[in-house]
A and B are shown apart, each in its own frame.
Chain A
Amino acid sequence: EDKVVQSPLSLVVHEGDTVTLNCSYEVTNFRSLLWYKQEKKAPTFLFMLTSSGIEKKSGRLSSILDKKELFSILNITATQTGDSAIYLCAVENSGYALNFGKGTSLLVTP
């Protein structure tokens, strides 16, 4: 059975801190791993990772995939209160459907 596990489940940090969110997976026929940010409504796409060791970066956010050890991390540097959200990790199999983890709830306090 495919499995995606995120840790920690919740996290509280102060503005300016750096955070690392973790995602490990066991999926047959792996195609890609995706990170989404969810505030009040729809999950919004952050990154898609298909190859090991290649960092994807967007502003203060970055992510990397390790296909040998079956995990990914999402880093957020210099956190801001606007980063408060649930961060979702999902793995895409060969059928294009996404298998989601339960998410990490991040709260950034002023």
Chain B
Amino acid sequence: DAEITQSPRHKITETGRQVTLACHQTWNHNNMFWYRQDLGHGLRLIHYSYGVQDTNKGEVSDGYSVSRSNTEDLPLTLESAASSQTSVYFCASSEGPNQPQHFGDGTRLSIL
């Protein structure tokens, strides 16, 4: 079955370090998205991509970057991790217009 997988599931790191979270989908979807989920805020959009070599900033993009070198993967990089970036991160993908986004199981990131 096609799916979307995130890795690692849990990560603890220190402030100032660079961190990369992986997202891989096997649906061959063009659209991919990264969200973070925090208590009191719900899910907020970080970055998204409509296809290879395309990336766009979302509502809370500061301190994050993404790159899209193939259809299957959209890694999320925290250039210099900050404690405010402690969160649960979800990756999602969709086929296109009027198609729902499907989510990975999330990465719980703690920055000490």
Contact of A48 among B48, B92, B98 (CB under 8 A): B98
A-B contact count (CB 8 A): 54
Q: Contacts A41-B105, A42-B105, A43-B90 known; A100 to B100 CB distance under 8 Å?
A: no
Q: Mark A95-107, 1 if CB is under 8 A from B, else 0.
A: 1111111110000
Of the A-B pairs whose beta carbons lie under 8 Å apart in the complex, a sample of 23, sorted by A's number, is A31-B97, A31-B98, A32-B98, A34-B101, A36-B103, A41-B105, A41-B106, A42-B90, A42-B103, A42-B104, A43-B103, A44-B103, A45-B101, A48-B98, A88-B42, A88-B43, A96-B94, A98-B35, A98-B92, A99-B45, A100-B44, A102-B41, A102-B42
User: Top 9 A-B pairs ranked by shortest CB distance?
Assistant: A42-B103, A102-B42, A100-B43, A41-B105, A45-B100, A100-B42, A42-B105, A43-B103, A97-B45
